[in-house]
Amino acid sequence: MAILMCRPDHYGVEYEINPWMHVETGVDREKAGSQWQALYSTYRDLGQTVELVDQAPGQPDMVFIANAALVHGSTAVLARFRHPERRGEEPFWREALADRGLRLREVSPAVTFEGAGDALFVSDRIFAGHGFRTDIEAHRELARWFDVEVVSLQLVDPFFYHLDTCFCPLAPEVVMFAPRAFSPQSARTIRALVPHVIEVPTWLARDFICNGVVVGDRLLSSTGVEKLDGELHHEGLAATALPMTEFLKAGGGVRCLTLELD
């Protein structure tokens, strides 16, 4: 798997667009750098190819590269951010992904879409979130671009404002999710469509453990994920817990810092 990451050279909490962010809470820049580096090194040690995109000054959330686009095959559907605070990232993502030879697609002008933060492949379906950042209209457009079924899921808890904060594909037939972050109907949909689910209580999901990435038989996620060792073991996975405290201050974790390319 090839992965794109963005080194936190200009990272900070400079505005508040989700309930985790408080501008008065200082980010420890050095610690953020070493937490990011630990994730980068873990990917490299596990044999992944990691490419880097430079962080632009004045775009503090660019480190959360998962939101740049949804990439599948040679197609990337670019983000259109909900908040003006992040719209400035869009030209940088367009350029970075075009440079990698991807075919770029965009959702319709008035529609918002926050990339792989709100759209995740599980086997041959896309599970997509709406309610906070991505408009449900974007889901139909994804279905068209990728020619796949899109399952729309309604997010209801502002602390879990992107799908990847509360839903994590672990294998083609296995997902981990935090039921209370979804409308009751959407939680039922997940249980009905996915053969194996690990249900994560809200208190644990608040450590951002659903914001993980599977590499081989490892689930890389935030500290706290080791509490699910038993359930993960049952699915043939082992947890690698990485401290993400500095990124949690902006509402992000392991998966947010990662953009998977096919």
- Interacting positions 201-230 with ligand ARG (CB under 6 A): none
**Active-site residue, from 6, 139, 162, 166:** 162
Q: Is 256 a catalytic residue?
A: yes
250 contacts ligand ARG (rule: CB under 6 A): yes
CA 240 remoteness from chain centre: 17
Instruction: Based on the shown chain and the rule CB under 6 A, indicate whether residue 89 belongs to the binding site for ligand ARG.
Output: no
By the rule CB under 6 A, 141 interacts with ligand ARG: no
Find the binder of ligand ARG among 8, 117, 179, 224 (CB under 6 A).
Answer: 117
Choose the stretch contacting ligand ARG; rule: CB under 6 A; options: 41-49, 60-68, 98-106, 238-246: 60-68
DSSP alpha helix (H) spans, 72-167: 84-87, 90-99, 136-146
Q: Does 35 bind ligand ARG (CB under 6 A)?
A: no
40 interacts with ligand ARG by CB under 6 A:
no
- Choice from 59, 112, 165, 221 touching ligand ARG (CB under 6 A): 165
Instruction: Single out the residue of 17, 77, 79, 122 in contact with ligand ARG (rule: CB under 6 A).
Output: 17
Of the pair 179, 251, the CB lying nearest ligand ARG is at 251
Contact 256, 67 (CB under 8 A): yes
Known active-site residue 72: no
Nearest residue (beta carbon) to ligand ARG? 117
Q: Is 67 in the site for ligand ARG (CB under 6 A)?
A: yes
- Determine whether 68 is exposed, middle or buried from the number of CB atoms within 10 Å of its CB (0-12, 13-18, 19+): buried
**Phi/psi of residue 208, nearest 5 degrees:** 65, 30
Contact between 256 and ligand ARG per CB under 6 A = yes
CA dihedral over 43, 44, 45, 46, signed as positive or negative: positive
From the number of C-beta atoms within 10 Å of its C-beta (0-12, 13-18, 19+), residue 210 rates as buried
252 binds ligand ARG (CB under 6 A): yes
Number of chain positions touching ligand ARG (CB under 6 A): 16
d(C-alpha 8, C-alpha 53), whole Å:
10
d(CA 237, CA 175): 12
Please name the residues in contact with 248: beta carbons below 8 A apart, sequence gap of 6 or more: 20, 207, 208, 222
Residue 164 touches ligand ARG, criterion: CB under 6 A: yes
Contact 115, 70 (CB under 8 A): yes
Give the residues lining the site for ligand ARG (CB under 6 A). Answer: 17-18, 21, 61, 64, 66-67, 86, 117, 162, 164-165, 250-252, 256
Catalytic residues: 162, 256
